[in-house]
A = this chain, B = another copy of it.
Amino acid sequence: MSFAVCHRPRNAAATRSAILDAASKRFTAESYDQVGMRDIAKDVGVDPALISRYFGSKEDLFRAVLDDCDGKDLMEGDRSTFGERMADDLVYGLAKDEDLAWLLIMLKSAGSPKAAEIVQQLSAECFYKPLTEWLGGKDAPVRARILAGILMGVAVGRDLSGGMKLSAEECERMTARLAPMLQELVDG
């Protein structure tokens, strides 16, 4: 007697992609150190050794994840409502989605030296540069830094406190204060 276990069809490309996807989700939700190869493998339903075979080391996998997400999601949508959208995302926690993947990964991995070095190598070219160009205008590099900083900082503050811990009315006030700050940074 045998149980009919449901195997995924053998497809290297699909499996590789699934690993990349699972890794991305993990790295946006937890820090580099906290994410284990065994965790990712379990998510995909695959042996940990396979990840090593496909991507080399954990660092290489991390690099591949960062290469994969282009960081341009931030800049999609109407420019004139950027502040409002982001303020909502930050306060009400919708940031778990893919919009802010780059930011969240950068944030969560600040603790680990290896991950930080990789982020440092890639963030300038793949994140800050496009963001700066998108912003344009006066002091664009400076505004990009402040913008990214606010987004990361408020997000980490919320995470650390286990939610905003504010009343519904206070949440409204928060978005009302954040939105113009962010919008002003976009407008210049």
Contacts and interface: CB of A to CB of B under 8 A. Distances in A.
Interface of A: 30-34, 106-113, 116, 119-120, 123-124, 128, 139, 141-143, 145-146, 148-157, 159-162, 164-166, 170, 173-174, 177-178, 181
Main secondary structure of the interface of A (DSSP, over half): helix
Q: Which 8 A/B pairs are nearest by Cβ-Cβ distance?
A: A153-B153, A31-B111, A149-B154, A149-B153, A152-B153, A111-B111, A149-B157, A142-B174
Contact of A154 (B110, B153, B162, B164): B153
Contacts of A174: 139, 142, 145-146
Contacts of A143: 177
A116 B34 contact: no
Copies of this subunit:
2
A159 B112 contact: no
28 contacts: A30-B111, A31-B33, A33-B111, A33-B112, A34-B111, A34-B112, A107-B156, A108-B111, A110-B156, A110-B159, A110-B160, A111-B111, A120-B161, A123-B160, A139-B177, A145-B164, A145-B166, A145-B174, A146-B174, A146-B178, A146-B181, A148-B153, A149-B155, A149-B156, A149-B157, A150-B150, A152-B153, A152-B157
